[in-house]
Amino acid sequence: MSLPQPCPTTSPPAEPLDLAAAAALEGVRGANPLVGAVITGPEGYVLAVGRHRGRGTAHAEVDAIAAWHAARAQDPAVAAIDAADCTLHVTLEPCDHTGTTGPCSQAILDAGLGAVRYAVADATGAEGGGAARLTRHGVRVTGPTGHAASAALTQRWRHVRDAGRPWVTAHLAQSLDGQAAADDGTSQWITGPASRAHAHEVRARVDAIVVGTGTVTADDPRLTARDAAGADLTVQPVPVVQGYRDLPAGAALADRADLIHVRSHDPHAVLAALAARPGPWPHGGSRPGHVLIEGGPHVLGAWLAAGLVDEMFAYTAPLLLGAGLPAVAGLPVGTLADGLRWALDPSEGGPVRLLGEDVLTHLAPTTKD
C-alpha cells in the first residue's frame, strides 16, 4: 500500500487509527504483535506514520517519531509545530518495559509529544503500563478507544500469549494438484528460488523449526536460515525433529548440538519440550516466541488438526505431479462440512502474491459459522 507522506497540508483523516491499522499490516506476524502509529498536528493533519516491522526492530511509536523527526528536518512548516500540540495515535498501548528495544513510553516522553491516543490496552504483566506512566508525566492520554480494526490486528497474538505458547507458522510447498513430492518421493525442488528465498526470510525470524523424521530421511535438511547468496545467517533457529525413528547415520542434523528430538507425534509434546529447554533462545528471551512447522505432510497435518497453527504460507508451483505425496495428511475430515477453513491474511505484503513463477498465499485460521 502507499501511505501519505508527512505533510501539514494533507486533509485530516476521519480516523487516524484507521491509517495506523493499515500501516500495521505492512509488518510481519510472529512473537510480537502488529502495531501501527500516526502522529497528527493540532488540526489533525498527518505528520508521520510508523509501523512495527518485527521482533528486534523499532516499535511503531519509535518508528513514527523517527519519521516525524525526518519530516521536521525537511519541512519548516512541520518543524514550526510545537510537539506539545501533537498527538500520537497507536493501535496498541505503548509499552513501558525494556526488551530488545527500550520502552516506548520513554521515547514518547523524550519526543515531547503532548497527547497519546491508543486503541487497545496491553496491561498484562511487564508488557503494559505505558499509559499510566505517560499520564503521570503530564501526557494527555486517551484509551482504550475500542477501535475495531486495531483490535483485530492483535486478536490471534493475544490468544497465543494468553495460552502461554509460541506463535506457530506453517510452511506448505505444493504442486497445483496438492502434492508435496512426486510418486517416487522426490521433492527438491517443487517451488522455485523466489519461494525458497521467502521461506528463508521467515526462518530468519523464528526461534525453532520443526520437521518430522520422514523429512530428515527423505531430504536431509540443514534447517538453517540463509541469506540471498546462500550463506548461513549469524542467528540460527533451533532444529526440532518430531517422530520416533532415529535420525539416519550421517544426517546433517545429527551433528547439531542444539538439536531437539521429540519422540512423539503429538504437537503438544513438542511444545512441552520447547518450554523445558533452558534459554536463551536465538532471538533472546527465556522461551521461544515463534516456531515454524516445515512438515512433512503428517507433521503438518498433526499441528493443523490440533489447532496450533496461527498462520500458514502456502507456496504453489505451476506443476502437476499426478500420483504423489499429498502436502497435508492425517486430517480428521470425513465430509466437506468438517473441513478446516482458512481465511486470507492481509499482512506482510498482502494475502496473495507472485514469487517468481509460484503463487504465495498467506492464510489465517478461522472458525466455522
Which residues form the catalytic set?
A: 61
38, β-bridge pairs: 49, 89
SS (H, E, C) 231-276: CECCCCCEEEEECCCCCCCCCHHHHCCCCEEECCCCHHHHHHHHHH
Residue 52 CB coordination number (10 Å):
26
Q: Are 171 and 143 in contact (CB under 8 A)?
A: no
Tell me how far apart the alpha carbons of residues 98 and 96 are, in angstroms, rounded to a whole number: 7
Query: Alpha-carbon distance 93 to 339, whole Å?
Result: 37
CA 236, 238, 242, 245 dihedral sign is: positive
> What is the spatial distance between Cα 307 and Cα 301, in angstroms, rounded to a whole number?
10
- Sign, CA dihedral 365-63-150-359, equals negative
- To which residue does cell 508527512 refer? 6
With beta carbons less than 8 A apart as the criterion, state whether 35 and 90 touch.
yes
Distance CA 156, CA 162 (A): 10
Q: Which residues pair with 210 in a beta bridge?
A: 240, 293
**Residue showing cell 486517551:** 142
Helices and strands per DSSP (H, E), number in the chain: 10, 16
